[in-house]
Amino acid sequence: MAIPKPRRGNLLLFLSILILTVMVIALLFYALLWKAGNLTDLPNLRIGFYNFCLWNEGTGSLQCHRFPELEALGVPRVGLALARLGVYGALVLALFVPLPLLLAWCKRDEGEWWLAAGFLAASSALLAGGLGLFLSYTWKWITFSLLGPGFLALSIAQALLILLLLATVTFPQRAGKSKLESC
């Protein structure tokens, strides 16, 4: 029996999902590795997942705080650890998304497709939770106008993760009648 001719709409949707997945991974790498997780990186303020530097008027320079100084400032050790786990865990799970997508496409296996959707859902939840938790602890030093490109990249990645999740949940229903095209 001949393999059915791939439908152009399904192929374009699949390629769009793959491109958006690569964009999410690139944004997460940019924010968390290239920018070192810094949400604010100014000459007088540097606050990120591993940096907490405030301007010290006495010395006229940035003073970076570590634990237990951070706990005295109101940033709990466990809260910061959970925030780090969330955002960096989102990056790790996002790295696992392309392979199940490609396997689902090639093998016509809807189970692999749902595995990719599960990775996207977990990655989205981890990123939102980690970023929200971190901002809730540091909001007294950070205002919205001080947030830099790292925060923008994480916000765009979060929006794209939600869009990707919606697309992957919807796609098998559209492709179900004609089966996923093979490689």
In this structure, is residue 124 part of a structural domain? yes
Asked if the structure places residue 31 within a domain, the reply is yes
Q: Whole-model pTM?
A: 0.85
Domains: count for the chain: 1
According to the model, what pLDDT value does residue 68 have? Answer: 87
Which residue has 């990655």 as its token pair?
Answer: 123
Give Cα 143 to chain centroid, integer Å. 21
Query: Does any domain span residue 168?
Result: yes
Q: Which domain covers residue 147, as residue numbers? A: 13-38+76-175
**33 in a domain, yes or no?**
yes
> What is the DSSP annotation of 52-90?
EEEEETTTTEEEE--TTHHHHHT--HHHHHHHHHHHHHH
In sequence order, which residues have a C-beta less than 8 Å from that of residue 128 and are 6 or more positions away? 86, 158
Take residue 176 and report the two structure tokens written for it: 């179900």
Assess if residue 57 is contained within a domain.
Answer: no
Mean pLDDT by 10 residues, the chain (183 residues): 47 89 97 93 90 87 86 90 96 95 85 92 97 93 90 97 93 54 54
Q: How far is it, in rounded angstroms, from Cα 59 to Cα 52?
A: 17
pLDDT digits (tens, 9 = 90+) for 166-180: 999 887 655 544 454
pLDDT value of position 5: 40
In a domain, 118, yes or no: yes
Specify if 34 maps to a domain. Answer: yes
C-alpha closest to that of 114 among 170, 161, 158, 163: 170
Q: Does residue 139 sit within a domain?
A: yes
